[in-house]
Amino acid sequence: MEVDVHKIMTTLFNVELNEFLAKFEKYKVFEKIQTGGLMEIRSREAHQFYVYVQWLNDFREQLYRKSTDFRMELESFQREMESLLELYVHLKLLRDCHVFSEKAEKDLDEYFLKPFMRFLNKLDEMFGSFFGKKVNDILSKTVDITVKASNVFNTPISNVEVQISYVRFPRFEKYAKTYPLLTLKTDDEGYAKILLLRPHEGGYRVDVKKYNKFAFLDVNSCNYVEIKVFDLLNLLRYKISKFLRKL
């Protein structure tokens, strides 16, 4: 069975997701700020959902590129859709884990999660129940991830930001394109924990940007990664804090 890719993308994908794409696609936003009676124009960095817009656009371009005259066999279309289904599951998990602000959660629900589910329901009406079942299958393969940031002196690095990104082609290492998913802070023992899915391809990159250190994590074989940094000041603070607790 053949799938009319152009029809799917223009009458279903674009209809349901264009509002999300349009709302969060700008890398920089310029806004007017009132300062002491004067209006000043300042630039505001991209919204945190900008990277998900990139993911959607990359998927759409890749789908068109792999089709022949905008057509594709159903099995091939289902395989190509897996990365998009994983994006949906990623964002659903992150919303459920409350890693976003309350407003961001509402925006995510209104502009992406609900429209995307309508898109999947329409695909299931056209091609059977594959897509809804696949989402449930992906959801069943989640794994608890633990990241530890530690000093080379074997002391924990607490309260430092850890960014977790999806990497489709980790073999390219530091040159691989990353899709940031979330940023966490380590606890007093240097740990950060989150629930993520097992992607059908690729893995995760874990960055501790403060120290310019990163590591790749293949959750199909491991659910723990430790990143070691060199920080004498952190060691000193840790020793002082430990000493004061004993007093």
Per-domain residue ranges of the chain: 2-139, 142-239
Count the neighbouring beta carbons within 10 Å of the beta carbon of residue 87.
20
Q: What is the amino acid identity at position 48?
A: Q
Q: Outline where DSSP puts E strands in 71-202.
A: 71-73, 142-151, 161-167, 178-185, 191-197
Q: Average pLDDT of 31-57?
A: 70
Q: How does residue 198 score in pLDDT terms, banded at 50, 70 and 90?
A: confident
Query: CA-to-CA distance for 242 and 127, rounded, in angstroms?
Result: 62
Give 208-240 pLDDT, tens digit per residue. Answer: 999 999 999 988 888 999 999 999 988 888 888
**What is the bridge-based pairing of β-strands 38-45 and 142-151?**
unpaired
Identify which has the larger pLDDT, 48 or 28. Answer: 48
| Per-residue pLDDT at 91 | 93
**196 burial level (CB within 10 Å; 0-12, 13-18, 19+):** buried
From the list 53, 82, 86, the residue with the least C-alpha distance to 166 is: 86
CA atoms within 13 A on the CB side of 222: 11
Buried b (16+ CB within 10 A) or exposed e, 160-169: bebbbbbbbe
CA atoms within 13 A on the CB side of 214: 18
Q: Decide which of 3.40.50.11540, 2.160.10.10, 2.170.190.11, 2.60.40.1120 is the CATH code for 142-239.
A: 2.60.40.1120
**If you average pLDDT over each of 27-36, 154-163, 170-179, which comes out highest?**
154-163
Q: Average pLDDT of 21-36?
A: 67
Q: Average pLDDT of 2-14?
A: 95
Q: Can you give the pTM of this predicted structure?
A: 0.78
